[in-house]
Structure 1
Amino acid sequence: MERKENTVIETIQILDGATGTMIQKAGIDVPKIPELLNVLAPETLIAIHEAYARAGSQIVYANTFGASPMKLEGTGYTVEDIVKAGVANARQGAPACLVALDIGPLGQLMEPMGSFSFEDAYAQFAAMVKAGNDADLIVIETMSDLLETKAAVLAAKENSELPVYVTMSFEENGRTFTGCTLESMAMTLEGLGVDALGFNCSIGPDGMVGLVKRLARLTSLPIIAKPNAGLPDPATGAYTMDADSFAASMEQLVEAGASRIGGCCGTDPSFIERIARWKGEPLERADVPSQSKVCTPLMALELNTIHPVGERINPTGKKRFQQALLEEDLDYIVSIALAQKEAGAQILDVNVGFPGVDEVDMMRKVVKKLQSVVDVPLLLDSSNPAALAAGARVYNGKPALNSVSGEQAKLDAVLPIAKKYGASMVALTLDERGIPATANGRIAIAERIVERAKQMGIDACELWFDPLTMTLSAQPAQAQETLKAVESFSKRGWKTVLGVSNISFGLPQRPAVTRVFLAQALAAGLTMPILNVNVDAYMDTIACARLIRDEDPNAKAYIARFGGRTMDTVAPDKKTVDLQVAIVKGLDQEAKDAAKRALASLSALDVVEKELIPALDEVGNRYEKGTLFLPQLLAAAQSAQAVFEVVKDHLANTGQASVKKGKIVLATVQGDIHDIGKNIVKTVLENYGYDVIDLGRDVAPETVVEAVARHGVKLVGLSALMTTTLPAMQETIRQLHTLDNPPKIMVGGAVLTPAYARDMQADYYSKDAQDGVRIAREVFDHE
């Protein structure tokens, strides 16, 4: 890749097409784990790679997509057996091509949505990487969970020296299945140091054009486009595009900025042959200047306006918070985070250092817990580099670290952490001699930090400079020096941070002084004030500053904040959290406490019907509207489950019958080992009070029928992700219809449509978990 002024010039590379499509065309018996063919039928894979090389591919993907230790368990083969054979087959079939170790998703729900931890995922991916070091590069593809993707990238980076390409699968709404935004993907993966990124699978080339255009405005890295051959027909498994129409659409992707092009599901060598005409052609596109940014999967922030940072997740001077840390009361910490977000914090400072607390372990736990409920970015705050590293490692997205300074030991310890995890940093303008008395002294330290960061390949935009707020009561002259430094940094285009409330320490009427200092700092160009966002006066000042700085188009935010306010408006002081609110926000402990209070005046059935169900319905409605995403949906479901446990305990203690709405059997059909979607449906249905009998994945039709007959089940849910397993779904439905009292049947999965569900004689098509609840209600309410 060559850079000229304001442009990037790349050479187009041709990738291969679908492996699964070619295996199916080979007419051989395909095992449940197709990667086993690397040793069971190597000649078939060699021929596939050879065909793609002849068609013009320059990079071929080894047949290792699902060769994780977990999936290979019980097959009699190790990861080394399958991965090394896969790479060798690709090398033999396409000796003139680069061979990619192909790594796909693990098929497990990651924390916090599921129980599969970051460390578990990392271990699975690391085993594949170590076994595949004979490849020329690593391709991580078809990912939808940003945290799982990060685990795979780190496994690749820490266990090999190979280049790393990453593609994620986006849906028509511009997000992945788990809600990850395109901007969050770009920020996180570029920060982790991948060599190319982009898209594969999910949608055809036409639907991918808009995504590539957006990504080209976010990154200067090479962009990968490996779309399906249109959309599949569930009845036949065939895709809608032929090779010629595919190539015509791929031309738009190249024009949009894709320089690594190939095909995914439904494509074969004839498709690659049509696009190989672009091999080696130069592609010129606009360079993307570096800028300061942080993100979570659901929210990406480009720090070009004022962004208030919540300061309350910090034990200093807060006895209740200190107690929460010692007792690992993470729900209390989450409640503080939610209150700050609702008050307007766009970033949350997170400090968990306190005597008697294992800060490294606690930082890891708190980051995971906060990200299960709160979607705003976190600023990980610690003087312990090990705690910063622990938090940055499990952080889902692009984090920020607080802090580094001009001290050589700090630079040596923290800069490598930021570089490895792609984090932004707060840079304190102090060094071994302390805090300079003048603005110029602080500026000189900042310049040294910038130079040292540059030597490590870290752009100045990743540094947020804190010229430090000294207390007026002790050092009255220092306030002006701090403001001068803020102004100087701002004029250079550098981002600034200040803990503004320090200014008033030891003075009466602290909020008045703090507010005026905040206003002056904002006027000087302060980017990120760290403050108590729950104080309306401070947030009012920020709203006004945004308006004055022309960062609030049409005064929209200002009017929203002040338009309906009256002078005597006083917020109620609520000491407890409502049950429905606790469930919607995913606050487990608050939900349990609220349920216990509710049971003092309501029957168990009323708690379920009048509190729990309406709360879940509200979450479901927001999910359907796209204002809430899968992590929050599952967090609410977990809180609802906590409420159900309280209700069940209450019923047991009072000798009453348990609250159950009916039994439902769920299964992923025979031959299909993907069960993420089914597991989500199970979680949500259980929290609506249904008794779910989960038969697991790869379930034979006879097993489903036997379970339905034995339990007297009225509703069955069947899931399939692959077109090749749809006949098994149809056979299961046929056998269920032979029962004397056949159940209602709902089906779901990525390859299904309402029309095909009807053709298979299923009673319902369920597009997602919330739709499954609607169907269950219809079935059981009409019994």
Structure 2
Amino acid sequence: MELKTKLGKKMIIFDGAMGTVLQQRGLKAGDIPERLNIENSEDIIDIHKSYLKAGAEILTTNTFGANALKMNELEYSVEEVISAAVQNARQAIIESGIDASVALDMGPIGELLEPMGSLEFDEAYNLYQQQVLIGVESGADLIHIETIADLYEARAAVLAAKENSNLPIFCTLTFEENGRTFTGTSIRSMISVLEGLGVDGIGLNCSLGPEKLEPLVEEVLKYSETPVILQANAGLPVVKDGGTVFKISPEEYFKPLNRLYQKGLAVVGGCCGTNEEFISLIAEKLKNKKVKEREIIKESLVCSPSQTVNLEGVNVVGERINPTGKAVFKEALRNGDLDYILKVAVEEIDAGADVLDVNLGLPEIDEKKLMVKVIKELQGILDTPLQIDSSNPEVIEEALRYYNGTAIVNSVNGEAEVLEKTLPAVKKYGAAVIGLTMDDDGIPAAAEERFKVAEKIVNKAAEYGISRDKIIIDCLTLTASTQQAGVKETLKALKMVKEKLGVKTTLGISNVSFGLPERPILNRTFLSMALYQGLNLPIIDPNDEEMMFAVKAAAVLNNIDQGAAQYIEYMAEVEDKSDLAEIKENQNKEDDLQTVIIKGLKNEATRLTKAALKENEAIEVVNKYLIPALDIVGESYEKGEIFLPQLVQSAETVKEAFLVLKEEMNRTGGRDIFKGKIVMATVKGDVHDIGKNIVKTVLENYGYQIIDLGRNVNIKDIVKAVKENNIKLLGLSALMTTTVKNMEKTIKAVREEVPEVKIMVGGAVLTTDYADMIDADYYARDAKIAVEIAKEIFSA
């Protein structure tokens, strides 16, 4: 099958599940499905053949977990497993005599990437690169990246596939009912990033049944220009007769798929709980049907994983992360004082910045190295999109590689050399780019000449495949004190660019007033004039309230802010902030420890904890500052106001405070700050411990001592740890449907030996009903609920 020719034109049918079908054929709970590629290849080939007979056009290799990190305890190498898996799929095609493509299946690595976890981006890339190279060598026809919850991990996988093969790439993420992945990634951010990286198919898999995923897929269909994929579970599993059962029938499964087909779905298959019966019905109804045309909403987006900014309106770019004219900032850069930079960023966001410009240009520092470090730190505490500001193309490319989202590049200009050095990276990573209206001859005086430079930039970008929705033109603000006539030309050029080229516009506002008295008055007036001409991205200091007032007011008067809703909300927030500022002036300095924890400023936590200890015992610091701050963070997480990266960063900040408190305890012999011991483990056969590690981190920072047994833990080792440590609460985790049976066995063994211990369970495949069925005491959906459970147990 010529996949690329058919993709997006005729419906393409994927196969269904592998792991749950193997379970039905006798795969024991906790056994590793990938080893069967070698030990029982006949079964794997037979499953592939059943899907081909059912009508599948793409066979997925049995390599979901075949990466070096997950398989380090397996006696077979990654190369052996993947090669055998591709060969099995190919053999099924030969024996069936049915034409089909072989998709190299790459699932999640099993560990969280930085900044939420400890796995570095390059390590993740290398793990995926190894899989891709083996898959290509073995003869795979396409690469299917699936069941990803972390957009950063998806980026690593896609880049590994793009840079090490010429094969088509499909990428599907797993979403929860709230429209976000486990780590907080939104649908629109997924689309922006994956389309920017150039995948061939994009969509959703696993998660929930197709009916619950239907509204989420509709959103993808509405905004994605790439062919859309859906491979849903057959609903959530339940326990029946000691086994895992999926209740949705093929007929029920197909109904929402058919509705989505009518709206433009292009590729469909099945995930956990589906089998050849599901695929047969889908193929019978949809195979080779023409993909329906859809009306796609084209947006100009930049984004972080959890937040998108539409450049169509007016959005403020914070200008303060820039050493120019800032002696304290320069000193912070020289000393590697990232906390100072992070505090500036937090202040800009709190003041209302929509995008943060990040400029670290000092001749005496390693700008490339520091830029990557600052971007990672910023993304650990903030979900605001970033604007990477550098005159060095190498710095820009390095920053784009490690930025988790769709960034703005600031900037290129009309010089041919600059365009040729920077635009390829902009295209490769799907970024937006600012073009300055200057060339080898400098900044043209006349608006018409600046327009010509802008036009040249737009045309050159088009040659690299960069569309106009990703282009932002800066007509350059001149200083009124020395080039007064040029200010008017800037505004004239801005209007021409807006009307004739149809691209977005930006200006650095404050330069207009340099060298003149009462600069804020000139800045505000110039900003208002530029907004009237169609300015989209004013680069200003968002802490200047009068400038922010002008932006919000202009959006109302230009009929952008419908019903003045954003204006009213902003003014209400300003009033609230004023009241808080007055209260804060009367508070003790150590009260800032709460704020530092909420914002995730780790280094500040050490200093402020020491300050708090001058007036309080260690246990009082925990109860007075740490716990209330974590409660606020937890509530924000529950409400969807912050997401997993920010939750983890706050927990990591509390860790720094606890180190200080432990030192104080050792020195003074004061009361123990720990509230109780909890044993945690991922059950036998399951090599995923992402969720467990997050729960562990948060519980530790609420003052509980965690005995972490790790992943793939034998039942007897769990029982032993519970008995030896006199444990009141045990936490068990399982992510895969193939290992949930071992959780039930573990609970039974613990109950027999230590009946008084309370057991909480968690994991992607679990529900409250399932927790009840396997005799767990509690179902901990997330870390916040785990904390509430621990409070209940240990307060009693």
* TM-score when normalising by structure 2: 0.95
Aligned residue in 1 for 2:389: 381
Is 1:276 aligned with 2:283?
yes
Aligned residue in 1 for 2:92: 93
Which amino acid is 2:271 matched to? C
Aligned residue in 1 for 2:115: 112
Aligned residue in 2 for 1:413: 421
Counterpart among 655, 664, 673 of residue 659 in structure 1: 673
For 1:687-766, list aligned pairs within 5 A.
687-739=701-753, 742-766=756-780
| Conservation of the 8 A alpha-carbon contact between 1:208 and 1:253 | no
Is 1:521 aligned with 2:526?
no
Is 1:247 aligned with 2:248?
no
**CA positional deviation for 1:740:** 5.8
**CA positional deviation for 1:256:** 2.8
Is 1:464 aligned with 2:472?
yes
Aligned residue in 2 for 1:22: 21
- CA gap 1:252/1:542 in 2 versus in 1, 3 angstroms: same
Is 1:157 aligned with 2:162?
yes
**CA positional deviation for 1:28:** 5.2
Identity %: 47
Is 1:48 aligned with 2:62?
no
For 1:84-483, list aligned pairs within 5 A.
84-95=83-94, 96-133=99-136, 134-235=139-240, 236-277=243-284, 278-288=286-296, 290-483=298-491
Within 1, Cα distance between the matches of 2:330 and 2:661? 31
Stretches of structure 2 that go unaligned for 5 or more consecutive residues are none
202-211 or 239-248, which deviates more: 239-248
Within 1, Cα distance between the matches of 2:268 and 2:753? 50
Per-residue displacement from partner, 1:409-449 (whole Å, max 9, x unpaired)?
11111100001000000101111111111111111011111
699-708 or 752-761, which deviates more: 752-761
Is 1:538 aligned with 2:547?
yes
**CA positional deviation for 1:722:** 2.6
Per-residue displacement from partner, 1:593-619 (whole Å, max 9, x unpaired)?
221221111111111001100110111
378-387 or 253-262, which deviates more: 253-262
| Conservation of the 8 A alpha-carbon contact between 1:103 and 1:140 | yes
Aligned residue in 2 for 1:503: 512
- CA gap 1:357/1:84 in 2 versus in 1, 3 angstroms: same
Is 1:778 aligned with 2:778?
no
Within 1, Cα distance between the matches of 2:26 and 2:754? 39
Which amino acid is 1:24 matched to? Q
- CA gap 1:301/1:710 in 2 versus in 1, 3 angstroms: same
Which amino acid is 1:189 matched to? L
SS in 2 for 1:70: coil
**CA positional deviation for 1:32:** 3.3
Which amino acid is 1:102 matched to? D
Within 1, Cα distance between the matches of 2:707 and 2:632? 26
Counterpart among 487, 495, 498 of residue 487 in structure 1: 495
**CA positional deviation for 1:632:** 1.0
SS in 1 for 2:245: coil
Which amino acid is 1:234 matched to? V
Within 1, Cα distance between the matches of 2:342 and 2:780? 33
Q: Tell me which of the two structures has the higher relative contact order, counting C-alpha pairs closer than 8 angstroms and 6 or more residues apart.
A: 2
Which amino acid is 1:561 matched to? Y
Within 2, Cα distance between the matches of 1:709 and 1:549? 69
Within 1, Cα distance between the matches of 2:736 and 2:431? 38
| Conservation of the 8 A alpha-carbon contact between 1:234 and 1:753 | no
**CA positional deviation for 1:734:** 2.2
| Conservation of the 8 A alpha-carbon contact between 1:212 and 1:256 | no
187-196 or 272-281, which deviates more: 272-281
RMSD: 2.1
Which amino acid is 1:756 matched to? Y
Per-residue displacement from partner, 1:499-536 (whole Å, max 9, x unpaired)?
01000111111111111111101011100000111001
**CA positional deviation for 1:560:** 2.8
Which amino acid is 1:297 matched to? P
| Conservation of the 8 A alpha-carbon contact between 1:577 and 1:590 | no
Is 1:548 aligned with 2:595?
no
Within 2, Cα distance between the matches of 1:41 and 1:755? 34
SS in 2 for 1:751: coil
| Conservation of the 8 A alpha-carbon contact between 2:238 and 2:769 | no
**CA positional deviation for 1:290:** 4.2
Within 2, Cα distance between the matches of 1:61 and 1:740? 43
701-710 or 364-373, which deviates more: 701-710
Within 2, Cα distance between the matches of 1:402 and 1:308? 15
Which amino acid is 1:276 matched to? A
| Conservation of the 8 A alpha-carbon contact between 1:360 and 1:387 | yes
Within 2, Cα distance between the matches of 1:380 and 1:669? 43
Within 2, Cα distance between the matches of 1:567 and 1:234? 50
Which amino acid is 2:706 matched to? V
SS in 1 for 2:185: coil
Stretches of structure 1 that go unaligned for 5 or more consecutive residues are none
For 1:639-658, list aligned pairs within 5 A.
639-658=653-672
| Conservation of the 8 A alpha-carbon contact between 2:29 and 2:739 | no
SS in 2 for 1:580: helix
587-596 or 363-372, which deviates more: 587-596
**CA positional deviation for 1:29:** 5.7
Which amino acid is 2:50 matched to? A
SS in 1 for 2:238: coil
Aligned residue in 1 for 2:593: 579
SS in 1 for 2:224: coil
Within 1, Cα distance between the matches of 2:609 and 2:200? 50
- How many pairs were matched up? 778
| Conservation of the 8 A alpha-carbon contact between 1:234 and 1:751 | no
- CA gap 1:323/1:566 in 2 versus in 1, 3 angstroms: closer
Which amino acid is 2:614 matched to? A
Within 1, Cα distance between the matches of 2:578 and 2:154? 47
SS in 2 for 1:283: coil
Within 2, Cα distance between the matches of 1:760 and 1:43? 33
* TM-score when normalising by structure 1: 0.96
| Conservation of the 8 A alpha-carbon contact between 1:405 and 1:428 | yes
Within 2, Cα distance between the matches of 1:532 and 1:460? 27
Within 1, Cα distance between the matches of 2:77 and 2:578? 67
**CA positional deviation for 1:30:** 7.6
- CA gap 1:310/1:568 in 2 versus in 1, 3 angstroms: closer
SS in 2 for 1:426: strand
SS in 1 for 2:229: strand
- CA gap 1:528/1:647 in 2 versus in 1, 3 angstroms: same
**CA positional deviation for 1:94:** 2.0
| Conservation of the 8 A alpha-carbon contact between 2:202 and 2:226 | yes
- CA gap 1:374/1:28 in 2 versus in 1, 3 angstroms: closer
**CA positional deviation for 1:623:** 1.4
Per-residue displacement from partner, 1:547-573 (whole Å, max 9, x unpaired)?
101122221222233469789979569
708-717 or 310-319, which deviates more: 708-717
- CA gap 1:288/1:256 in 2 versus in 1, 3 angstroms: closer
- CA gap 1:15/1:569 in 2 versus in 1, 3 angstroms: closer
For 1:535-614, list aligned pairs within 5 A.
535-562=544-571, 578-614=592-628
